[in-house]
Homo-oligomer: A and B are copies of this chain.
């Protein structure tokens, strides 16, 4: 039974109870939202991990992407990345490995961490075809569905599947005047395959089969946005919105089939378009949880895309996004290092918190108020404790070399809090 199936029947599962407690809302509310599809619990029946809820009224969650590439493949480093991501607050991790040993990697990462794990199964299929026949265009349908089925059996909790990039869209895109065409890696595998083989996208054509597999293992589908924009001027165009419309119909079908489903979103979006993007996703996809990559709000900051995406992510979270995929400083330049992963997670946690504050979530405000009181009381330990990166905050404080607890090196005796306190005494 999937969580959705249970919820529809009014059954309150252990996972729902745990989430109700964690989010401090009633079990009835959680159950109702799951039954309506506005909240999902990515948790494969074959895997025993911490349960997270993603969606309506819940705190904004953060995902960290890790995994090898064809150029960099070191399992220990990738596991270190996964662990540091969780340590700094990632609520989920996606293994996006595309190196030759990707199956072995996935197995080990599934063991290493205790949060929901997502994948993009088309990578396994594409890499297999590439290594076997020299091109992702040589993927067979069996390659694709075997990858999905095996990964579901292994316990993968959520899967990005680019079901919406169908033949019609691919041909339209080929002739579009986009600056950057298609930039989703999984989307490009299918785009290329469709053009080469002149066949329909198997993930679109055999969507029912995908639903069967997902239902059997309660895999949450994350409908990929293969046509997300790759630069600001391609944002919110016909291709992107047409794919979203298709995804809306697929969301409906998944829900009818008792399969949990999220929708993925852009990408590169000018700041003034972010809120509208969230709004149209929510209306077209009838409140399905929205999982956004960034969005990045300027392309001029390679090396700082954790910041460009924290801006977009915060506004997205405040406007309806439920799940933020982090972006690291290495984005557009190379595979992230362990430290890049850490910085990416922290930036996304900041964005999520800023969004949750804007939404008026009690838990987010409670922490803000604690921090304000700690500052007013010069309670440095409490400030560190409440920080997204305690160690860094502490290092900065120690750098001051000031023994007086009631000041820092910024203002010294002229500290406004200190002076104002003296006046109140």
A residues engaging B (CB < 8 A)?
69-72, 98, 123, 126-127, 130, 136, 174, 179-185, 187-189, 191-192, 195-196, 230-234, 270-272, 297-304, 306-308, 310-311, 314-315, 318, 329-335, 337, 346-347, 350-351, 353-355, 357-360, 365, 367-369, 371-373, 375-376, 383-384, 386-389, 392-393, 395-397, 399-400, 402, 407-417, 419-420, 422-424
Contact = CB atoms under 8 A, between A and B. Distances in A.
Contacts of A395: 303
A271 B358 CA distance: 5
Contacts of A422: 192
A328 B357 CA distance: 22
Residue of A334, A365, A393, A411 with most partner-chain B CB within 10 A: A334
A299 B71 contact: no
Nearest to A312: B354
A386 B231 CA distance: 14
B423 A192 contact: yes
Given A409-B69, A412-B98, A353 B298 contact: yes
Chain A, interface SS category: helix
A333 B299 contact: no
Nearest to A315: B315
A127 B300 CA distance: 41
Given A98-B411, A375-B332, A423-B191, A367 B136 contact: no
Given A71-B400, A180-B375, A330-B410, A368 B232 contact: yes
A179 B372 contact: yes
A312 B397 CA distance: 24
Given A271-B357, A375-B299, A333 B174 contact: no
